[in-house]
Structure 1
Amino acid sequence: MFGRNKQKLRRTYDDLLLADVEQAKVDWDNAKLTQKSVYDADDELEAETKLAKAKYQLLFREARLRRIKGHLQATMIKVNEFNN
């Protein structure tokens, strides 16, 4: 009885985390494109890009720690992108 509810809650929150990871990846990609597109990129724009990257990395690592299966493979990034 109680185990089913726990599994259902875990699945629900795992799905929400996957959605957040995918959205964070999109936000980070958009921030990188914006920074490249702007001729005079200022410090604020660079800080926004770094913040978007940090959010993505945090959510991605949490999903990996939870060993979430699903669309996570679609949002996988190359190791060297973490370093850029």
Structure 2
Amino acid sequence: MFKKRARKVKETYDQQLLDLIYAVKADWDHAKETQLAVYESDVNTELVMQTKLQEQKFLYLFREARRRQVHGQLERNISVKQ
């Protein structure tokens, strides 16, 4: 009984992790698109840093998912640097 409950809890948290990864990836893509669309030099530095921050968030969550051996449906346009 305990193993079933532990498995259910793990599945719940794994799904939450996957949902968070997908959300952060969407934020990262949006930041990249915004950075490409803006050409002002004052704002550009801030946008570059914002994009880097979103990238690092995604990579951290991706590594955590790999460590936990969580498998999900990755989109084809996701490319990850190792």
TM-score by length of 2: 0.86
Q: Which has the higher contact order (CA 8 A, sep 6+)?
A: 1
1:54 aligns with 2:50: no
Amino acid at match of 1:6: A
Runs of 4+ in 1 over 4 A off after TM superposition: none
- C-alpha distance in 2, partners of 1:2/1:70? 25
TM-score w.r.t. the length of structure 1 is 0.84
Distance 2:33 2:45 in 1: 15
Q: How does 1:10-25 map to 2 (within 5 A)?
A: 10-25=10-25
List alignment gaps of at least 5 residues for structure 2.
Answer: none
Q: 1:42 and 2:54 equivalent?
A: no
> Matched residue pairs, number?
80
**C-alpha RMSD of the superposition:** 1.8
Distance 1:27 1:60, change over 3 A: same
Asked if 2 retains the 8 angstrom alpha-carbon contact of 1:22 and 1:75, the reply is no
State the Cα deviation string for residues 52-81 of structure 1 (Å, max 9, x = none). Answer: 00000001111111111222x3267335xx
Structure that is richer in helix per residue: 1
SS in 2 for 1:5: helix
